[in-house]
Amino acid sequence: MEKKKTSFKIPHTYVLLIGVMLVMAILTWIVPAGQFERIEQAGRTIAVPGSWHAVDANPQGFFEIINSIPRGLTDSAAISFFIFLIGGAFTVINETGTVEALIYKLSQKLKGAEILIIPVFLLVFGIAGATLGFSEETIVFIPMGISLALALGFDSVVGMSIIASGAAIGFSAGFMNPFAVGIAQGIAELPTFSGMGLRIALFLVLWVITSLYIMRYALMVKKDPTKSYVYNKLDPKHDLEKSEFVALEKRHILVGLTFLAGILAIAFGVIEYGWYIQEIGAIFMITGVIAGFVYGYGPSKVADLFVAGAKDMVFAALIVGVARSIVIVME
């Protein structure tokens, strides 16, 4: 008799979160209740060391558990709408093709110094990961990176790496990542983007190490293609001039300058005025709208793109609310 293969499938994210919440609810019937005294200090709510004391238990029943989810969504509304604003703004900017156009222009400028493509592209996508939160979005750029790498005498591994690894080091350092760092610091009641200097230093270290690693591999492949990891599936040669890149136009430059102005405004506001999620969301929103207008989109087109981008963020925005319900049950 044939044995049926059993495979474990990771549950849906929401199922995992609800599971954690149910475990916490059960623990409210077991773990003795207690709390710290809390005080306001520099805009943060902090616990007073040594002030823990027992309080009357308040075990969570069925209604309290289901009620914690809408309460969590309400409590996290500011962060959830922040995610919607950023998603809408980034979709408008991405739709203009500015990133693709800049990639093509850089590749043209670096002809004759092909190896410099690697640190430059890592830097570009690293900054995108650290500021735009680029992660899985880089998938759409990988075919372009591969075409570029092949045209310059490297292999597809190099093409994939200069895109995906760049975004990875940027996202990991995240010196101005509104999704990871901004949201986490908001939940922890820390000053927005505090510790930026340390994260920039981390980013530079990661950039240098990753650049040297990929450059070493690229030079090895160019010298001896048989050492390529994909040599058995020999990559075809690509003509850079005939590749389907977007030519850089004046309106792309205007979009890029608009985005740069928005990032600088956020950095200045956070450092000088202590801007928080509300102000940062407002700047991202207006940056996306202006970028759409300077590219030539009409108001309705910008609105459609903005709504489409916000719609793509529903999954992430709801996660914040459901995760907040776990805290409510524990509190």
Predicted local distance difference test score (pLDDT) of residue 23: 95
Residue 253 lies in a domain: yes
Predicted local distance difference test score (pLDDT) of residue 201: 94
- 234 and 266 belong to one structural domain: no
Predicted local distance difference test score (pLDDT) of residue 207: 95
What pLDDT digit, counting tens, does each position of 13-31 carry? 899 999 999 999 999 999 9
Predicted local distance difference test score (pLDDT) of residue 286: 94
Predicted local distance difference test score (pLDDT) of residue 236: 62
When pLDDT is cut at 50, 70 and 90, the band that residue 3 belongs to is: low
Q: What is the distance between the alpha carbons of residues 298 and 254, in angstroms, rounded to a whole number?
A: 16
- 262 and 233 belong to one structural domain: no
What pLDDT digit, counting tens, does each position of 98-148 carry? 877 877 777 777 777 778 889 988 998 898 888 777 676 666 577 777 877
Predicted local distance difference test score (pLDDT) of residue 288: 92
- 194 and 221 belong to one structural domain: yes
More confidently predicted of 184 and 295:
295
What pLDDT digit, counting tens, does each position of 51-82 carry? 889 988 889 988 999 999 999 999 888 888 88
C-alpha 51 chain-centroid distance? 38
The last residue of one of the domains, among 244, 267, 295, is: 244
What pLDDT digit, counting tens, does each position of 235-285 carry? 665 555 555 566 788 999 999 899 889 888 887 887 777 777 788 889 989
Predicted local distance difference test score (pLDDT) of residue 131: 79
Q: State mean pLDDT over 4-13.
A: 76
- 162 and 206 belong to one structural domain: yes
Nearest to residue 69, comparing CAs of 20, 141, 2? 20
Residues 65, 331, 194, 319, Cα dihedral to 10°: 0
Sign of the Cα torsion 11, 14, 18, 20 reads positive
Residues 286, 292, 293, 299, Cα dihedral to 10°: -90
Q: How many domains would you assign to the chain?
A: 3
- 143 and 167 belong to one structural domain: yes
Residue 321 lies in a domain: no
Predicted local distance difference test score (pLDDT) of residue 108: 75
Q: Is the pLDDT of residue 216 over 60?
A: yes
- 173 and 262 belong to one structural domain: no
Q: Is the pLDDT of residue 188 over 60?
A: yes
Q: Which domain holds residue 302?
A: 77-97+246-313
- 118 and 237 belong to one structural domain: yes
Q: Is the pLDDT of residue 158 over 70?
A: yes
What is the average pLDDT score of the chain?
84
Share of the chain above pLDDT 70, in %: 91
Q: What is the distance between the alpha carbons of residues 330 and 59, in angstroms, rounded to a whole number?
A: 9
Predicted local distance difference test score (pLDDT) of residue 139: 64
Q: What is the pTM of this model?
A: 0.66
- 239 and 253 belong to one structural domain: no
- 199 and 259 belong to one structural domain: no
- 232 and 297 belong to one structural domain: no
- 222 and 269 belong to one structural domain: no
Residue 66 lies in a domain: no
Predicted local distance difference test score (pLDDT) of residue 152: 77
Nearest to residue 206, comparing CAs of 319, 310, 98, 119? 119
Residue type, 133: G
When pLDDT is cut at 50, 70 and 90, the band that residue 234 belongs to is: low
Predicted local distance difference test score (pLDDT) of residue 104: 75
Segments of the chain assigned E as strands: 34-35, 38-41, 44-47, 53-54
